[in-house]
Structure formats: structure tokens, C-alpha cells
Amino acid sequence: MSTQLPGPHDEVPPPTIEEVSPGIYAYIQLDGSWFLNNAGCIVGSRSATVIDTTGTERRARAFHAAVREVTQLPVSALINTHSHGDHTHGNFMFAPASAIIASERCRQEILAAGHAVYALFPMVDFGECPLTPPTVTFEDRLTVYVDDLRVELLYMGPAHTTSDIVAWIPERKLLFTGDLVFNGGTPFALGGSVGGWLEALDRLEALGAETIVPGHGPVAGPEVLGQVRRYLEWLLAVGREGFARGVPPLELAQGLEFGEFAEWHDRERIVPNLHRVYSELRGEPRGTPLDYRQMFAEMLAFNGGRPLRCLA
């Protein structure tokens, strides 16, 4: 079964900036497929804090302009929820004036990856995005204040990656999840852990968030956590069965019925997701590196040799 693929007239709506709580904004890039991620901005009385950036020079400049539409205050801090380029390539727009905050693993992964992802998406004009890694890192948790508003940064990996953090604002019951939540898109566990992701969802549900800004897709309520959980539990179930029968992940993926997840975009991620399940069933440590070039080649094979749907 193949995923939705780009047609000659595919278009995406322009990004929007939505006030999700007084002085707190979500920057939404629909449809939320490959490299169309979300970001955020928290505005105080003296400065602002940004959460994530975007993946191309053009989109990074558009996000910076959107931030300037809601505040002219200096951006004192930029938080990266994880290392992937769609959330970090635009860091250069806020450096060196802003402290760039992330997990220590996020800094390591950004430096190790460089711009290797460019080769995987030859249809994208990435522009010039100088590599700009975090300058302030932590291991488990860190608290950032915007005026008196407490923003708790909590390490959640390995899950989507080994570097995931979330930004939890308890006073507003508002949660920026990074890519621990894809709303309407297929989760992607190539660089993380399916078991760890399910444990991270337990922790997120316990926070009691009422508003969730996902890494991709529209702003949602807490029900979106259950949607991600159902996908991961289904993934584990089909993965265990395929592993027991010795079916290679690509072959298994090609024979699956996706049920309630059939309309989610980027279904080809099922292939690396199954490889991740198999890795964990073999007893390999969570986050054990997989051959990402092989994973992308198998996703193309799942799509019948046609390219991934990336409209960035």
C-alpha cells in the first residue's frame, strides 16, 4: 500500500500564527507532512522566547517575520525540542543574540548530522542555513522563565529521537510536544524508540495538558495523545507478529491494512518504524542507530519508487 504522493498541482496553505494562550503563539505549517513543522513564541514584557524554528532558509525567514509581527522585543532564548533539521535549521535567524537551549543529546546530534538530510530531499530548496547548534544544554530538566511564567523543559527521549524534550507551561496547562505528537501524520521512530515513546506518552498524559501544540499538524486537545498511542500500540502488535514469522519490515509493511491510520499522511514511515520495533525485539538498546539511507530507500520502495511527499 503506498502513501499519498505529491501531484503536479499540490499546494499547502500559508503558515499561520495563532494565539493559543495570552501572549503565547503557535506557528503552524500545514499540512504537517515532511519538513512542514510547527514552532512557537512566548512573549513577555521585556523579551520573548521561541520554541523551535523551521527547515529551509525561506521558511526560517518567514517564521522570524511572523515572530516580529507579534512582538518587537528581543528574543532572549530559543528552545529546540529535538535535533531534526525541520525544527533546527532556522536557528541561525536568532543567533547569536538568543541563547539556544536543548538537551545535550540534541546538540550532539545536530553537530553529527550536519546537512546530510539535504541529500534525502533533492526536491527541496533548502537555501543557506548555517549550522547553528544549541549553546545551553541540560540532561533531564530545566526551567526557563518568561517574566514570571514558568516553562518546564523535560527530557523525554529516546522516543521520536534520543534528544526529545517538551516545553510544559503548567500555569496555562499548555504543552509544546515537539515531534512526540504528529496530529494527522504518521509518527516517525527511525531515530528513537517505540517502547520509549509509549512511556513518554504516559508522562505527557500525567501532566494534564488542555492545549497541545504538536510538532506537526493542527493545535489539539489531550485526545491527540491517545491517537498517537493507538498507532504505536498497533505498530508494536503488527511488528511482533511479523518478527515472529521472520517477515522483513518492508514486506510486512506492503501487506498491511492501516485502518484508522489510512488517511494519515507519510504512511511510508511504517517501514523504519517496523525496523525500530524489530531492533527492540532483538534486544538492542533504545535509540540504537539504524542505517538511515537504507530506511529512506525502503520508504521509496514502499511508495513504488516515487519520491516522498515533501512540499517544503
**Looking at residue 137, what is its pLDDT?**
98
- Supply the pLDDT for residue 2: 29
- How many angstroms separate the Cα of 133 from the Cα of each of 80, 109, 190, 310? 9, 9, 21, 24
Count of other CB atoms within 10 angstroms of residue 100: 25
Low-confidence ranges of the chain (pLDDT < 50): 1-9
Summarised one tens digit per residue, pLDDT across range 36-93 is 999 999 999 999 999 999 999 999 999 999 999 999 999 999 999 999 999 999 999 9
Counting Cβ atoms within 10 Å, is residue 32 exposed (0-12), middle (13-18) or buried (19+)? buried
CA dihedral 199, 200, 202, 206 (to 10 degrees): 150
Task: Look at residue 162 and give its three-state secondary structure.
Answer: coil
Spatial separation of the C-alpha atoms in residues 111 and 133, rounded to whole Å: 7
Q: What is the pLDDT of residue 10?
A: 66
pLDDT for 11 equals: 79
pLDDT value at residue 233: 98
Cβ atoms 134, 102 nearer than 8 A? yes
- Shortest CA distance to 311 belongs to which of 125, 175, 54? 125
Helix, strand, coil shares of the chain as percentages rounded to 5?
A: 35, 20, 40
Instruction: Quote the pTM value.
Output: 0.95
Read off the amino acid at residue 241.
E
- DSSP 3-state of 84: coil
Pair 2, 270: CB distance under 8 Å: no
Cross-sheet strand order for the sheet of 48-51: 16-21, 24-28, 39-43, 48-51, 75-79, 99-103, 136-138
Q: What are the C-alpha distances in Å from 142 to residues 23, 152, 235, 239?
A: 21, 6, 32, 35
pLDDT for the residue numbered 4: 39
How far is the C-alpha of 67 from the C-alpha of 69, rounded, in Å? 5
Q: What is the largest CA-CA distance in the chain?
A: 60
